[in-house]
C-alpha cells in the first residue's frame, strides 16, 4: 500500500486568537504604543480616562488595518489599479523610501524614443 498526500486548508493555522496573524498583531501593538502617549495626555492632564482608552483602541485598530488589509481594486481610479491587491504596509514602506530619495523619479528613454521625439 502506498501513501497519499491529502491536501488540506492551512490558511487559518498561522493565526493568533482567530483574527491576528503575526504581522497584524505586531502592527496592532505598534499602533497601541503610539496611542499610549495620547492616553496619558488625555487621562492625566484633561482627566478624561475614557477618551484616552478610546484613543489607544483607535490607534490599535488603525495598526491592525494597516497590517491586515490590502488595497482594493477600484476601476474608477486609474492610479489605484496599479497597486490593487498589495498590502497597505508595503505601500507605506515604498512611499517612505520614495520620500527619502527627495522625490526623484528617473525616466529612461531608449534611443528610438529620443529619435522619435526629435523628429
pLDDT in tens, 41-62: 888 888 788 888 889 999 999 9
Q: What are the angstrom distances between the C-alpha of 89 and each of 48, 70, 96, 116?
A: 32, 9, 11, 40
Q: State the greatest distance between any 2 C-alpha atoms of the chain, in Å, as a whole number.
A: 74
Is the same domain home to 65 and 77?
no
Query: What domain range includes position 54?
Result: 1-69
Is the same domain home to 94 and 58?
no
Count of the separate structural domains present in the chain: 2
Is the same domain home to 93 and 110?
yes
Single pTM value for the model = 0.65
What residues have CB less than 8 Å from 42, skipping those under 6 apart?
Answer: 48, 49, 51, 52, 55
pLDDT in tens, 73-114: 777 777 676 777 788 888 888 888 888 877 766 667 677 766
Write the DSSP assignment of 16-37 as a string of letters: BTTTB-HHHHHHHHHHHHHHHH
Q: Cell 496592532, residue?
A: 28
Amino acid at each position: 500500500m502506498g501513501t497519499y498526500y491529502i491536501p488540506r486548508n492551512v490558511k487559518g493555522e498561522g493565526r493568533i486568537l482567530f483574527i491576528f496573524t503575526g504581522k497584524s498583531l505586531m502592527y496592532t501593538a505598534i499602533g497601541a504604543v503610539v496611542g499610549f502617549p495620547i492616553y496619558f495626555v488625555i487621562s492625566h492632564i484633561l482627566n478624561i480616562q475614557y477618551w484616552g482608552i478610546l484613543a489607544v483602541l483607535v490607534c490599535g485598530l488603525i495598526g491592525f488595518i494597516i497590517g491586515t488589509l490590502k488595497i482594493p481594486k477600484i476601476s474608477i481610479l486609474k492610479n489605484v489599479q496599479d497597486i490593487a491587491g498589495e498590502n497597505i504596509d508595503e505601500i507605506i514602506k515604498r512611499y517612505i523610501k520614495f520620500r527619502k530619495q527627495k522625490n526623484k523619479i528617473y525616466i529612461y528613454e531608449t534611443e528610438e524614443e529620443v529619435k522619435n521625439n526629435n523628429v
